[in-house]
Each structure stands twice: as C-alpha cells, then as structure tokens.
Structure 1
Amino acid sequence: MKERYKKNLTAYEYLEGWEKVSLSEHLKNWAIRYSDRVALVDEERKITYQEMEEKVEKLARGFFRIGIKNGDTVLVQLPNRISIVEVIFALCRTGAIPIMALPAHRESEIEGIIKLAKPCAYVVAERYLGYEYLTMAQKMKEKYPCLKEIIVDGEPKCGIALRELEGEAVEFPEVDSYEPAVYLLSGGTTGIPKMIPRTHSDYMYNARMSAKRCRLDKDSVYLAALPVAHNFPLCCPGLLGTLDVGGKVVLAATTSPDDILNMITEEKVTITALVPAMVNVCMELLSFDDDYDISSLKILQVGGAMLEDTLAEKITRELPCKLMQVFGTAEGLLCFTSLNDTDEIICKCQGTPVSPADEIKIVDEEDNEVPDGVFGELLSRGPYTIDHYFMAEEANQLSFTEDGFYRTGDRAMRTPEKNIRMGGRIKEQINRAGEKIMPSEIENLLCEHPLVKEVAVVGVPDEVLGNRICAFVMPSMEENDVTHSDVQKFLRERKLASYKIPDQVIQVAFWPLTSMGKIDKKELVEMAKEREA
C-alpha cells in the first residue's frame, strides 16, 4: 500500500486570513476587541463576548478538574443553545477535541462513534424535543469503560451538571493550531459516521473566507437555524465567521418555520442558512401569516441539498433578500455564489470556491479531466480540505487520490464563466432534507425483520424533502404483509435515527433486474414515483 498523501499546512501561511492560532486564542482576542457587544442569543438568554470568554474559562477549568486533558476526545450532543458554543470553546482550551454529534443521532450512530474514537466524556442535554438523551448516555457509559464522565446540560439524575463545572485557575497547555480542533461527522457506507478532523487554522480560515464572500461585519446578525453540529451553520460562515467580525449569533431552538421566522423578526437577523425543504415551508408560512417581518434579512444561504432552479427563481422573485447558493462538504471545499452575481447565475449555479488556493478538478470515470460544460465527479484539494478521515483507512483509500484530492462523490460541471453547477450525487447515498443516509444501513436492519426476505432502499425525488426514502420489501412468505407502520416500528426499536426511517414502503413480489442480474434501482425509483408517499 502506498504511503498516504499528507497536506503541508505551512504551505498556506502566505494566505490572507490564515493564522496559526487556536480557536481558544481567537475567543480571547474577540473578547478584547468586541468586549461588551452581544455575541450569542438563544431563547432563554444572551451573552456578550466578554461574558462568553469568562464562562469558557470557568468551564475549561471544570473540564480540567475532572480529568479532561490535551488530546482527549469528548462526544458532544447538544441542541442549539448557548451552552454548545461554550462547551466547544472550553474543550478547545483544554486541548481536548469535541466530536460533533447531531441531536438526531441515536444509539446506532452514537455507539459506532464511541467504538471508533473512545471518548473520555459525553456531554448531552438532559432531554430535547421529548427525547431522553441522558438515558441513552447512561446506557453507553455502562457499556463502554472509556466513558468516564457524563456531563448534562439540564437537571441530571446522574452524571455531572454542566452548570456546576468549575475549577481553580490552571495554566492550560499550548494548543497546536495545526492539530484537530473538532471532529465533524459524515455519513459512511456502513451507516456509522466517518470522523472529519478539522484543524484550528484551517477551520478559522474556512470561516473567514466564507464571511468575506458574505461581506459580514460587526452589524451582521446570523441565525443558526440548522443544528450547530453541522458544518454549514458552524463555519460557512456560520457561528465562527460571525463571531470573528464581531457580529451577533442567534441560535434557533428548533428547525420549525415558526421558530425561524420569529427569530428573524425579533432579532433583526441579516443572514441565515437553510436547506431547500426548510425554505419551502418558511415561504408557505409567510404566504398566509402577516405577523412576521423579515425585511432585515439581506442574505439567504441555501445548501445542504440540491436547490431546484424553480425554487431558486421563486426565492429571488418573492423574498426581500439576496439568495446565495452554497455547495459545501464537511470535508472542506466550499463554493458560494457572489452577492454581485446575476439572478440567472444565482438560480442555476453554486458559484465558485471561496479561497484563491482551492484546487478543483472535474473528472470522468477514469479520472481524466473533462472540458467545461461536461458533468463529471468533483474533486478538491486546498487549505481547508482534509487529507484523511480519522481511523478509516478503507474510506481514505476510496475517498482520496494519490495526490491528495478529495473525491466529493458529486456530479458537477464548470460553466463558461467558471461557476460550478452541481448535478446530484454519483453514488446511492440519499440526501434527505440535508441529511445524508446510506441505503445499505437501512437494508441491513430491515433484512433482520422476520417477515422480510429481501430489501432495496432508494432515494426518490421529492418536492419537500429533496429526496424521500423508499424501501422496497419482498416478504419472506407470499401471504405476509409488511406495512409502512411495521417498518417504522421495527427500525425505531433498532434505535435508528428518525431521519433515516423510510418515508415510503412498497411491497414487491419480484425485482426488476439489470442485464447483469442485479436489482435495477433506477427502475425502482421510477416505480416509486408512480405512487404517492
């Protein structure tokens, strides 16, 4: 096996916006620079930059007191509230690395992450939207000895209360900004998320280049409508990009359109990021409710899933803000349209890379570059694009070229104006409302159902979700009847995340086959289109 390509971060030190500074040090600088300006707002409180720095220092001392140290990994699963921001920065101050689990992750995903990363602690909400996270965390602690502490944001029946964590003054170790600051999570072929190591320097550069493209300044008010554990609201420009310029970050408690529109109205939000499905429901609510005032909104970023041209045109026609299309990966590359682009470009393209040092290729199946106007697979390499996944050698071999280009798995073409136009996923991965799901994970679980003989799962284009999940099931006996409710109940019992549970179930007596004798999934998609979800 050939030696893996390793990116040399020092090669990017010439770039404007690149600094060899840790996230924790950035916060200290922001507290000095922006002191009494409001930094964060959630549904319960707001804090200034100085107050945030003081809370992070106190919390970091508390983490240090209970044994969390430089190089440790800590699993963080918190919803959008000020505490998640404080936890991220406090862990970075100790030198520990937060693993950014989504609120939607359940036992199946969490267990896979723990097995891989062996975190020493697990930070959870006591409960959120009716789900008891503490119960799941306690079960994981009993099963995995690596988990020494459960830290709870709420009223814990067990574990340590986050609000009570503090300690005596301590000199924290110097953190190397070229080491991982956070581990983001990506979908994988086994259904267990792959861990994406983003360094302090590359991640802040990512945020700064995004903020520059969006023209953020101290008067900017960013609404984090999507879960902050996602790369999109965390750093594109998101939370980090807004804080870096002295703006205000508003954290929406849920992704409901009512919460989003209320926050925009009350906090005079100037920029937010949504997936297409969320845009649809927000626009529908605006059409019959006059109580919302979104006149402050200057930029609406839309990404995380393909934005249909018709919806893009509707946004530019009906909303008072500028649409900014976004293509991005948690692994790195970001492409945005620009604020001075024409509506035609904005509605049909995903723009250009945010850094002059980004390298992209669009290649055919033999890795030969294709000419402009021809679709191929998008590959990327650059200052903020990773060169490997954590502890995933098989995925690394498949996902990176010998010279360090990341295979995005997305179809793209370059227009004559050098904009990127995306063409959907190359592989079978289903992108449902911005969440990425591997069919094989659902297929494997459903094959354990006593009434099921065979299963095939496909993504089906959907006006609301982008793609809905359709499970085709062949019963083990002809007289068996496997219903949608049967499938939902079975998968919930297997602790599968709710966004991975099929939206549609179709029972079949035989499979359409390709000339190679494989199940013809293209034909299955057409069959699913003919039926209502």
Structure 2
Amino acid sequence: MNRKLQIISRYMLRQRCGFNSMRSISTSMPILISHKHQVGKDPLVYRTIGQQLELTAANHGDVEAIVSCHEGKRYTFKGLLQEADALAAGFRKLGLQPGDPVGLWSPNYMHWYLSMMGAARAGLTSVGLNPAFQGPEVAYCLNKVNVKAIIAPESFKSQNYYEILRDICPEIADSEPGKIRSEKFPHLQSVIIDSYDGLKGALRFDDFLDLANKSEREEVAKIQKNILPESPCNIQFTSGTTGNPKAAVLSHNNFVNNGIHVGNRNQLEGERICVQVPMFHAFGVVITIMAGLTKGATMVLPAPGFSPKDSLQAIFNEKCSVIHGTPTMYVDLVNTQRKLQVPLGKIKKAITGGAIVSPQLIKDIRQILKVETVHSVYGLTETTAVIFQSLPGDSSDIVLNSVGYLTDHVEAKVVDAEGRCVPFGQPGELCVRGYTTMLGYHGDEEKTKETIGKDRWLRTGDQFILESNGYGRIVGRLKEMLIRGGENIFPKEIEDFLNAHPQVIEAHVIGVPDERLGEEVCAFVRLEEGVDPASFTAATLKAYSKGKLAHFKVPKYVIPVDAFPKTTSGKIQKFKLMEAFKQKEPSELKAFSS
C-alpha cells in the first residue's frame, strides 16, 4: 500500500472508532486500537425458529429434545414438532395474530418449552416472565408489552399463579376461557393454566393442546414461509436494580444464529445438557434451548427451580455430558458434591455465564465435579445472549483469565469516556454491533437510542479489556466501580482475591458511603461450613492481604452472610447488599470493620 492510501486508511479507521483529528497519526507504525471484527467461517443463516425446528426434526427426529426429570416427561424432536404445531394451531384458534405477545410465566416445566416453540411456529412473540414475580410486577409486564395470552402452572411452592392473576384481574373468574374483558388489562384475552382441575375463566393446558383439529394443525406448516426471520420472536425483561425493567425485543434471526454459533463453539452435537438455568432467561432460552435445537442436543431438566442435589442426580441418571449454570449455581453444586460424592461419570464441559466467574471456582469445577473443560460465555440480554465465548481447546490460563474469544460475525471496540478507542490491553467501555443486537426496547425509543447509536454500536456498560488476539476480560460494570479517595476500584478484582481464600465459599464486594474518602470497600462473604464467623474479621483479612493486595483495595468492612440475595437467573442483587449495610447500626458496623 502506498503512503497516501495508508493515511486515508488510518483516517477512516480513526473516524470509525471515534477519533476526530488527524493529529499524532504515525504512517510508519500500525494503530493498535481496541477494535476487532470477527468474520466467521460459517455464514449466518436466514431462518426462523419454526424452520429450524423443522430442520432439526428432519435430521434428528428420534433424538430426545428434552427430558423433564421432575415431571417424568420426554419428547423427541419429531414429537416436539407435532406438539408445537398443536399449540400453534391452538393459539390461532384463540384469535391470536402474528406478532401478538404470549406471556410464559413459569419455572422449568415442560409446558414452558412447548409453548415457546408453539408460539414461534405461530409467528407470535413469547414473553419470558420471571416465575418469582408477584402481582404488581406481572401487572406491569402484561401492560408494558400488551400480552394477549398468558401460560402458567397453577402453583409452585408457595406461589399460586392462578390466584395472583385472578387477584390483579378479577374479571378472569367471570369470563369464558379465551374471552377475558378487562379495563385494567385491555389486551389480555386468554389465561392457560397447567392444572389437573378446571379453573374459572382459564383453559387447562392439556385441553389447549387438543383445541385445534387435524387440518388446523396441518395449516401451521404452510404459514412458516410467511414468518420473516427479522420479525420479533421474544421479549426479555431486563433485571434492573432500580426502576421498572426494560423490555428487550429479539428476533428469530437473533435467536437462531446465536444458537448456532454458541452450539458450534461448545461442540454440542449429540450432547446431553443438565439445565440448571431458568428457561425464561437469555441463558436458558438462547444459550441452552436454541443452541441445543440447532445441534440436536438433549436438554435435561432436573427440577422446576435450581436444586444442586437434583442436578447431581440428573447428571448421574441421564448421563449428562454438559452442565449449564451461573457461577453461584456452580458454587452450590460444588459444595453439594463435596458432601454427597455422587458418581457423576464423564462430564465433558461445564458452561458458565450470567455473571463474573472467579478463577478459584473454575478450579473447583474441574477438581470436585471432575469436569474436563470449563467454557465461559459472556453477553447481555440486549445482545441476544453471547458475544464472547471460549474456543474449543483453549488452555487453562485462557479460561481462567478471560471471558473467551469474540463470537463470529460480531464487531467489538473498547472506548474511553469520550467514545474514542483505547489501545488493546487498556480498559474502557465495551461496545459491540452485529446480528446479535436487539431490535430495541419495546415502547421506549429514548432508552433504545441511549443504548444503540445511529451507527448501530451498542454500549454494554461493562468496563472491559480487549486483547489484540481477540480475547476479552471484564474489569467490572461501570456503574459498580467505586472511587475510594480518588482511587478507581472494581469489585471483581477483590472478589477474585477473596474467593481464593481457603475459608471463603463466595464473596461479593460493594462500595459504601464514607465521609472522608467518599466510598469504602465492603465485602460480604459466605464461609465454609464449620468456620466461626467471629474469627473471619476485617482485621484478620487485612493481615492476610498484606503483600497480596494494594492497601486501598483491602475491605474496611467484612460481613459474613449465610446466603446472598439473587435473581431467579442466579445473579447477585448487589443493591440488596447495600440495603442490608444501611440497615445496620453504627455499633454493628464497628464490629465488622478494621
């Protein structure tokens, strides 16, 4: 390349990454800025979820698609397609039109999986609702996205889903099934409950399966060509810590292609996956359901909600070769296996994501669960699911110190506060663009524009380091960064240090108010069984940290806890840790401080 073309090329690159000046451009040395576009060897496909289900049923028809251990139910991919079409025809018979939202409000039951597939075959938009939501939260979601029908179990543990729906929408009990009329919920027409008994105003799920006749079911196959891959297929409510959650709208194109590339990296062909994550969450619906669907892998549901004992039993009974879970789930799985010593057999890989994982936990997964390899996946709801993930054959050091390699067909850059690309190896905010980017937030154009620029770069809000070799690592959430006396501190570094302590099972760090320094470091720790909490103090931790951790990063407060507040998807709710700190009396805090 001649000198003139070199200058033009560098100028265009700087413009793309936010530089608006030609100053300081060297024509003799490359600009090593944090920008990478990973062009995959396998092209993207133009396919809907329904078309993918047909393809998988044709190629892997007799393979088990899903096993629900706690319900004693199994479906092959061929059987799944038949049931999905029965449900799709049922939705159409109820009067639902392409694009209409269908709420799926349930723990990990078979009806959730079948309904998601049925909605996709009918061209509807499934809406994942957290099974832990209470009345006001469900009411918000129903109206936020104009849900037309909702499917739920009658009850789970102490939660009675039908009664909650009837309480927020009393008209249900006085309506004919499928003909609800409510001023408060003007769009809601149908409530479908997985129950043995008939409930006023609701359709039984088993009756709903039989609602359509043979010709109506056969009609579903004919409409698949009318459903566009670009059209919405799913809405995910973000797990916000303040204010109401936002509703991220995702397309068939998002789901199918991310599923394919997650399945490729994790080599899921023919594997049996122990599913510990909730299906309503992006980890469940994309990284698990869609990746399994595209690769003909079997999903095994140990229990409706996370249960480490049931997971271990399912791995043994169903000969699972892969485990899916969040870091906190693996913490509990490891500790339960230490006690039970279940003969698990050969486990090829454990896939973890949804939160930052510590190096110590990865070592425990390998040693205690006897897992051959650990794969990391990293992404956001707004990026469908995965934008960085481990490569097959990654060394232990790479897995321990990164969230993986940039996903195929995704572009990434790391920028400073002014939006300019930083050099490789330097921290900044991660921005990405590509097929994974959501369509937007439902009914919230302003928030959509804040997150996705006109140039389609999506701001993740994560403080991130991108290496020139395509691997990345999280420094922390920008909003979680604390500033102690002018020093920027990211909790993850301290959490990794604490999690390696022999007496610590799990640790999470927050910044708390301090009159002199602005913020101080506070660590909440869950200790090994038998460790006296009174012996694990801020003073003893300070002595342990000497020579290992900078003095300003050593927690001033160390607070032992029996358990951490978590979302249903396994994420730690740090805002609740802050609430717990603020509720303590000064005398209590003094006992926890150094």
Task: Identify unmatched segments of 5+ residues in structure 2.
Answer: 1-37, 171-183, 482-490, 496-509, 511-518, 528-570
Structure 2: how far apart are the matches of 1:312 and 1:390?
Answer: 37
Corresponding residue for residue 93 of structure 1: 121
- Residues 228-269 of structure 1, C-alpha deviations (whole Å, 9 max, x = no match): 111112222x12211222221112322111111111111111
2:508 counterpart of 1:427: no
Contact 2:147 2:188 in 1 (8 A): yes
Alignment of 1:444-483 (within 5 A): 461-463=523-525
2:357 counterpart of 1:307: yes
For 1:157, give the aligned amino acid: L
Q: How high is the TM-score relative to the length of structure 2? A: 0.70
Structure 2: how far apart are the matches of 1:458 and 1:84?
Answer: 44
Alignment of 1:24-423 (within 5 A): 24-43=50-69, 44-142=72-170, 143-155=184-196, 156-158=198-200, 159-165=202-208, 166-168=211-213, 169-170=215-216, 171-172=219-220, 173=223, 174-188=226-240, 190-217=242-269, 219-236=270-287, 238-253=288-303, 254-290=305-341, 292-321=342-371, 322-332=373-383, 333-355=386-408, 357-423=409-475
Task: Identify unmatched segments of 5+ residues in structure 1.
Answer: 1-11, 433-438, 440-456, 466-496, 511-526
Structure 2: how far apart are the matches of 1:110 and 1:188?
Answer: 15
Structure 2: how far apart are the matches of 1:189 and 1:336?
Answer: 26
Structure 2: how far apart are the matches of 1:258 and 1:458?
Answer: 38
Pair 1:162–1:314, CA change in 2 (3 A): same
Contact 1:309 1:347 in 2 (8 A): yes
Contact 1:39 1:248 in 2 (8 A): yes
Structure 2: how far apart are the matches of 1:188 and 1:459?
Answer: 23
Contact 1:277 1:464 in 2 (8 A): no
Corresponding residue for residue 535 of structure 2: none
Pair 1:160–1:361, CA change in 2 (3 A): same
Corresponding residue for residue 451 of structure 1: none
- Residues 164-223 of structure 1, C-alpha deviations (whole Å, 9 max, x = no match): 112132334421111011112213475322122221122110000001001121x21112
The range that moved more, 180-189 or 294-303, is 180-189
Contact 1:302 1:323 in 2 (8 A): yes
Contact 1:264 1:293 in 2 (8 A): no
- Residues 364-419 of structure 1, C-alpha deviations (whole Å, 9 max, x = no match): 11111111221111111011222522211221132122311111111110235331
Question: Structure 1 residue 71: deviation in Å?
Answer: 1.7
Structure 2: how far apart are the matches of 1:98 and 1:164?
Answer: 20
Contact 1:270 1:297 in 2 (8 A): yes
Question: Structure 1 residue 424: deviation in Å?
Answer: 1.6
Structure 1: how far apart are the matches of 2:585 and 2:331?
Answer: 36
Percent of paired sites with the same residue: 23
Structure 2: how far apart are the matches of 1:224 and 1:266?
Answer: 14
- Residues 22-54 of structure 1, C-alpha deviations (whole Å, 9 max, x = no match): 211221222222222211100221111121111
Contact 1:27 1:53 in 2 (8 A): yes
Structure 2: how far apart are the matches of 1:463 and 1:509?
Answer: 19
Contact 2:235 2:247 in 1 (8 A): yes
Structure 2: how far apart are the matches of 1:294 and 1:41?
Answer: 18
Pair 1:498–1:167, CA change in 2 (3 A): farther
Contact 1:380 1:405 in 2 (8 A): yes
The range that moved more, 121-130 or 100-109, is 100-109
Pair 1:530–1:298, CA change in 2 (3 A): same
Contact 1:17 1:209 in 2 (8 A): no
- The structure whose Rg is larger is 2
Task: Work out the number of aligned pairs and report it.
Answer: 448
Structure 1: how far apart are the matches of 2:572 and 2:369?
Answer: 31
Corresponding residue for residue 48 of structure 2: 22
Contact 2:415 2:430 in 1 (8 A): yes
For 1:386, give the aligned amino acid: M
